[in-house]
Structure 1
Amino acid sequence: MSWRLAIHAAVAASVAVVGLTGAVPQPSAVPQPGAFIRVTPGAVDDAVNGNCSLVEAIIAANTDAPRDACRAGDGADTLQAAGRFVLTEVPAGSSSRTGLPTVTSGLTIVDAKISRTTDAPAFRILQVANGGALTMLNGSISGGSAVDCPDGGAAICAGGILNLGTLTLVDSRVFENTAAGSGSIVGGAGIVNGGTASFINSIVRDNLAAGDTAAVGGGITNNTGASLSLVNSALRGNSSVGPTGGVAVGGGLANFGTASLTTSRVQHNAVSAPGGTATGGGIYQENAVTTLRLTRVNGNEPNDCQPAIAAICG
């Protein structure tokens, strides 16, 4: 991944930051549905049994073909998926350790609370492919545990969501996901964004990146060339934990691309690496552009931003 190359021993940073100025951007429009697919509450199987599970509905939307009781998708589809969906395993034939099929088409998921059961093998919850577009409305992603990074390298990334396409979260939460292990870099425990991501009225909280060498972005890692926007949203209680003498940066956000935070909060995030480099408890930025408008960054440990942003990171 591109952000593997961005961390080095000196943790040098070259960042352009804009302060509390400019107009507040309007939230992106929610994609209009093609097919409307009603998901059987709680169902996550992929078997011919007369229901329409969340797994089967994503496959039907991706392929524009029926799957079990799910109708065929038709362009940008909407899944009405009210309820809780608890994942226990990686679908058969998956090319990565991800609990749901990779989103490869235009897809909106409504009202789904998606989690991984604690006694399941480790896997992330969701992945959006390059060219795919996912909107989540009034949903949540929790309990994911990353063990690989399928877009390349020896890194471990994205316990909750790996986005390589377009991701929009509206009134949603990403919480209590982990990325941990012996990869060269462990990061983006909540979300890794390698494409375009927009969060509106959403929360990324209590996610943990813990690496044997370096931990990057407990809440979100925004990759080189990626674009991230937060409006009326929060990064709270996320952590990056490196080993003794190692590196830990970006407890809330590790930004290596372009990020814009408007009327948002980055609070009570933390980084630690005893005897090593631990910085950017709230936001870490390297070769990045970070724009903050009417946004509070405070209460992070051991500091709010690296490099510091005067009068904004208090």
Structure 2
Amino acid sequence: MPKKHLFPLIAFILFLSSCAPKTSINSPAPKTPLTRTYHIKEEISLVNHGKKTPDQQNLWVALIQSISPYQEVRSRKISPDNYTLLTDEYGNEYAEFNFANHPPNTTIKVEIEYEIAVNEIFYDLSNCEGELIDGYISPELHIESANPQIVKIAKNLSPNGTICEQARAFYDYVGDNLHYTHNRNDWGAQATLGFMGSDCTEYASLLIALSRADGIPARYFEGILYLDEKTSDIAYTQHAWLDLYLPGVGWAAMDPTLGRMETNRDHYFAHYTPDHIIVTEGRNPSTLRGSSYITHLYWPGNSTKISIDALTWEIALLEK
């Protein structure tokens, strides 16, 4: 699951854990045989444990958006309603709240409710030929695609074959070689080459890094997962996955975390299951300042003490 961070600056950054998807003009439309509708409620509680009111306090909350062909937001309600909408370099949208008037020993609650339709998507990989798009192949923080070890692994795994076959080789390598565990800190792709365990952020980051090292465009998503009897024991609600850009196909979804077991391997390769709900695109959105889903800043930090005591999600399936 995406990570939790605490940075003790004069302000505090706390995590409790785009560009709209592009398709090639020559790519066939993906098949969407199933749509699921969800009611989602996100609740955030900020508690002032100190003895003073902060001079300044801001909360940024990433908002779920309509992203074709994956999901459509049919309704959204945000409380309190005194917020400003912002957009980052990826096209992610945020509600920015100013809670400077936060009395000591009180709690402020933010509630956001959505109704969202999510599509299942199958991709036809039978014609994996054509050009790749520009971009999405550069190394970045936590996606160290220029790391010599990662470059060597990518080269060894993809000497021949189509780009779709190379992508599958990278996907299988991640599933075969990483050991799943929950990590509190954010490590990224390079750290998986050691002996530490990995969670969804590392699984997605390594697959992106291997793909970018081989010139295959890849992008990272964080969101939430509707858990059922098949997934509740193998994942968390807060989740990360990715898209690879495949010639003749366009952007194709991959979830190497849920696909880490052999019995699930085919199901999560080039198949977007309608239990995935995107919140943000990008491994390092600037607005989140190294966090996921939310960022919280307040000051002065030496005389006030404010914490986010809860970030919860309720996800109800409205229809099958």
Where on the TM-score scale, by shorter chain, does this alignment land: which range?
A: under 0.3
| Bigger strand fraction | 1
Q: From the two aligned structures, give the one with the greater helix fraction.
A: 2
Asked which structure has the greater CA Rg, the reply is 2
